[in-house]
Amino acid sequence: MNTMPLLGTSMPVFLGLTVVVIGFAAFMTGQALANTWKPVWHAVIYSILLGLVDRFLTYALFDGELLSASGYLIDTAVLIVITLFAYRLTQARKMVSQYPWLYRRVGPFGWKSVDPTDTGD
């Protein structure tokens, strides 16, 4: 296996396990937290825990380094980004769909207050 010292594993394992498999779990975690109106700091805590799971699976399934600090930090940073992406995307969708008289969508991650004087023309 062509291990990258910074990741503590090979690039295909990083992309396949961290980005695709655990990344999917991180995306679903972000959606679940936003759907239940949990604060955003929960997303960071759960991503840190997913980073531990990812590091263990990398070690157990693909003979990667278990105690690679740089690998754990990179994996966890990627998972935090994915979780926060899903959290904000879902939160913006919920705000607009649950409160259409108060907010309208502004891009994929934002919303703004509806102007009551705007007739929509």
Question: For residue 39, is it within any domain?
Answer: yes
Overall average pLDDT of the 64-69 stretch: 90
Question: For residue 19, is it within any domain?
Answer: yes
Cα separation of 28 and 34, whole Å? 10
Question: For residue 61, is it within any domain?
Answer: yes
* Residue labelled with tokens 């062509």: 2
Question: For residue 33, is it within any domain?
Answer: yes
Give start and end residues of each alpha helix (H) in 14-120: 23-35, 40-62, 69-98
Question: For residue 6, is it within any domain?
Answer: no
> What total of structural domains would you count in the chain?
1
Cα distances (angstroms) measured from residue 103 to each of 2, 4, 7, 44, 82: 51, 47, 42, 27, 25
What's the pLDDT at 8? 86
Overall average pLDDT of the 48-60 stretch: 95
Q: Which domain holds residue 77?
A: 11-91
Confidence of residue 120 (pLDDT cuts 50, 70, 90): low
Pick from 8-12, 23-27, 77-81: least confident: 8-12
Model confidence over 11-53: pLDDT tens digits?
999 999 999 999 999 999 999 999 999 999 999 999 999 999 9
pTM: 0.88
Question: For residue 27, is it within any domain?
Answer: yes
Question: For residue 116, is it within any domain?
Answer: no
Question: For residue 117, is it within any domain?
Answer: no
